[in-house]
Structure 1
Amino acid sequence: MNTDSAFEALAHEQRRTLLLALLQSNPQDAGFESPTGHSVLTDAEQRVQTELYHVHLPTLEDDGYIEWNEKTDQIIKGPQFDEIRPLLECIASDGAE
């Protein structure tokens, strides 16, 4: 495991939330859908969405933790997801207590 990329992936709340959601789901059966266009977004929501699409999703995809279909907004576990799984399980179990 590339520890630096794993910790970088988990450093931001949006990336952690997305990876934890994938940990809890079975994306081979159904992909996790990213947040998509509400009819009217607040400025804050627009910034979050822009950051997600232009920073967080590409970062996670480049590291191989997710596969992202930009046309359908489908996100599934990537080929390197199992490398980060132990850290995600630790985070998930810590939050459950």
Structure 2
Amino acid sequence: MLSHNPEDDSKLYVGDTETTDEELAALLTEMKHVHLPLLEDYGFIDWDEGNHEVTKGPKFDDIRPLLEMMARHRDELPEDWI
């Protein structure tokens, strides 16, 4: 999760889950209209919608410990959290 570098590929990384075309379309819509704008507003990411690029924002390090903890304990968390 934290070590994934989106510059390494041109596809959306959704983890190791099976995803239908409908689920993927819904996820992309939700990311574009809800999650990415909010994460950018909080400064956790920089989103260049025109070039389809997301990079770490100026406040990314504020949430890094939480993301690392979630990655370490992913087997203990509810499936819909990760």
Report the alpha carbon displacement of residue 58 of structure 1 after superposing the two structures with TM.
0.2
Task: Name the structure 1 match of 2:33.
Answer: 54
Map 1:17-36 to 2 at 5 A.
21=1, 23-25=2-4, 30=7, 35=12
In structure 2, list runs of 5 or more residues that go unmatched.
13-19, 77-82
In structure 1, list runs of 5 or more residues that go unmatched.
1-20, 36-40
Q: Are 2:53 and 1:77 equivalent residues in the alignment?
A: no
Aligned with 1:65 (options 44, 47, 50): 44
Compared CA separation, residues 33 and 55, structure 1 to 2 (3 A): farther
Q: Which runs of 4+ in 1 moved over 3 A?
A: 30-35, 41-44
Q: Are 2:59 and 1:90 equivalent residues in the alignment?
A: no
Compared CA separation, residues 34 and 80, structure 1 to 2 (3 A): farther
**TM-score for the superposition, normalised by structure 2:** 0.65
Higher relative CO (CA 8 A, sep ≥ 6), structure 1 or 2? 1
* One-letter amino acid matched to 1:72: N
What is the total number of aligned residue pairs between the two structures?
69
Q: Give identity over the alignment, percent.
A: 43
